[in-house]
């Protein structure tokens, strides 16, 4: 069984925190990932001390713990005088001089996976624009983590269904559907490293089911293979376009290019030739 080598979610978290720092009018942005109901603060922009670095925030404790518990953004206009939160982390927060703070949970499948914070050192509520920027970053990070989770799930399915020489047609067809879904997921992630890993998994699956492509195999682009993988499942151009988030005319263009490279007269012949060359499972 191969290791997944999933990209660290902290990299995606760091990217969103830096994006918020560029877009929002706040001096301090920070956050961390959640595991076992504990938030570990690891990413910071604008802090002046190391007091918050490596701080573990328990669920229900402090502003971030409250965000984790209820799965919704929480904020205080004056942290030191707030009566709506516990004050377990006053030494670190006050030591950094933070007063107005918003905490936005990143929720995936009803579970908190990270928390993003934005803060100022002055008293008073954060503006609506600042709050919306942090919320947008939280939604994007949740979508990215959800894609990675789905990739994990599908790769585990592949590993459990390792094909053999006696693989039944039904199992082979299921693996082809998983292959096509992985190509769809690759289009949904903004992480280039994850896209490359997905392409590698697809290549491995194709090799197991069809054999490695020969030296004379046509060179199809990633998008051409994406489209052919959907056509192989019986999708129409419109269905393939919807699954790949492309226009129907764009799908038609990629299909034409693939047919030309494969010297195929029909879409079904293109799929058959791609499999014969080992380009599709």
Kindly report the pTM of this predicted structure: 0.65
Question: Looking at residue 158, what is its pLDDT?
Answer: 65
Domain of residue 58 covers: 9-148
Quick one: what percent of the chain has pLDDT higher than 70?
A: 89
Strand partners, 32: 41, 115
Same domain, 166 and 73: no
Q: Tell me the CATH number at 196.
A: 1.10.10.10
State yes or no: pLDDT of 214 exceeds 80. no
The pLDDT tens digits for 187-213 are 888 788 788 778 777 877 776 666 555
> Mean per-residue pLDDT for 250-257?
92
Query: Are 128 and 249 contained in the same domain?
Result: no
Same domain, 114 and 237: no
Residue 167 — pLDDT band, cuts 50, 70, 90? low
Integer Cα distance of 253 and 1 in angstroms: 38
Report the mean per-residue pLDDT for the chain.
Answer: 86
Residue 86 has pLDDT above 60, yes or no: yes
* Domain contains 281: no
**Residue 160 — very low, low, confident or very high, per pLDDT cuts 50/70/90?**
low
How much is the pLDDT for 79? 95
Does residue 1 fall inside a structural domain?
Answer: no
In a domain, 258, yes or no: yes
Give 141's DSSP letter.
Answer: H
Strand order in the sheet with 38-45: 56-58, 38-45, 28-35, 111-120, 100-108, 74-76
Q: Is the pLDDT of residue 32 over 60?
A: yes
Summarize the confidence of residues 37-47 as an average pLDDT: 96
Predicted local confidence at residue 212, as pLDDT: 53
41/81 same-domain check = yes
**pLDDT at position 165:** 47
181 shares a domain with 75: no
Considering the domain architecture, whether residues 180 and 265 belong to the same structural domain is answered as: yes
For 215, the token pair is: 């030296």
Partner residues linked to 117 by β-bridges? 30, 103
Which pLDDT score, from 0 to 100, does residue 83 have? 93
Last residue of a domain, one of 118, 148, 178: 148
Please say if the pLDDT value at position 215 is more than 80: no
Going by pLDDT thresholds of 50, 70 and 90, the confidence category of residue 161 is low
Angle in degrees, CA 234, 240, 244, rounded to 5: 140
The pLDDT assigned to 6 comes to 65
Determine the pLDDT at residue 134. 97
Three-state SS annotation for 66-110: HHHHHCCCEEECCHHHCCCCCCCCHHHHHHCCCCEEEEEEEEECC
Within a domain: residue 154? no
* Domain total in the chain: 2
Q: Is the pLDDT of residue 274 over 90?
A: no
| Other CB atoms within 10 A of residue 11 CB | 13
Q: pLDDT value at position 1?
A: 37
Asked, for residue 139, whether it belongs to a domain, the answer is yes
pLDDT of residue 17: 96
Encode pLDDT of 100-127 as tens digits: 999 999 999 999 999 999 999 999 989 8
The answer to whether residue 30 scores a pLDDT higher than 80 is yes
Last residue of some domain: 148, 180, 200?
Answer: 148
230 and 101 share one domain: no
Say whether both 227 and 190 belong to one domain: yes
Do 52 and 20 lie in a common domain? yes
Residue-level pLDDT at 112: 96
pLDDT at residue 3 above 50?
A: no
Task: Say whether pLDDT at 62 is over 50.
Answer: yes
Q: Are residues 33 and 130 in the same domain?
A: yes
Residue 95 has pLDDT above 50, yes or no: yes
Question: How far is 208 from 195, CA to CA, in rounded Å?
Answer: 20
């Amino acid at each position: 069984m191969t290791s997944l080598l999933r990209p660290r979610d902290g990299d995606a978290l760091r990217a969103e925190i830096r994006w918020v720092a560029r877009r929002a009018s706040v001096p301090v942005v920070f956050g961390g990932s959640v595991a076992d109901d504990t938030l570990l603060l690891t990413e910071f922009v604008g802090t002046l001390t190391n007091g918050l670095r490596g701080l573990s925030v328990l669920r229900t404790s402090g502003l971030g713990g409250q965000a984790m518990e209820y799965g919704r953004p929480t904020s205080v206009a004056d942290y030191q005088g707030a009566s709506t939160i516990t004050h377990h982390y006053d030494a670190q927060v006050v030591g950094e001089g933070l007063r107005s703070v918003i905490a936005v949970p990143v929720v995936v499948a009803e579970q908190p996976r990270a928390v993003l914070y934005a803060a100022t050192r002055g008293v008073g509520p954060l503006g609506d624009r600042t709050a919306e920027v942090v919320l947008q970053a939280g939604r994007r990070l949740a979508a990215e983590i959800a894609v990675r989770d789905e990739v994990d799930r599908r790769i585990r399915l592949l590993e459990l269904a390792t094909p053999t020489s006696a693989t039944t047609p039904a199992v082979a067809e299921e693996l082809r559907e998983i292959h096509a879904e992985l190509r769809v997921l690759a289009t949904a992630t903004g992480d280039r490293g994850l896209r490359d890993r997905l392409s590698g998994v697809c290549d491995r699956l194709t090799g197991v089911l069809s054999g490695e492509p020969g030296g004379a195999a046509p060179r199809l682009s990633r998008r051409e293979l994406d489209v052919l993988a959907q056509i192989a499942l019986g999708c129409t151009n419109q269905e393939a376009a919807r699954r790949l988030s492309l226009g129907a005319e764009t799908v038609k263009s990629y299909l034409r290019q693939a047919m030309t490279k494969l010297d195929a007269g029909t879409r079904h012949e293109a799929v058959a030739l791609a499999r014969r060359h080992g380009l599709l499972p």
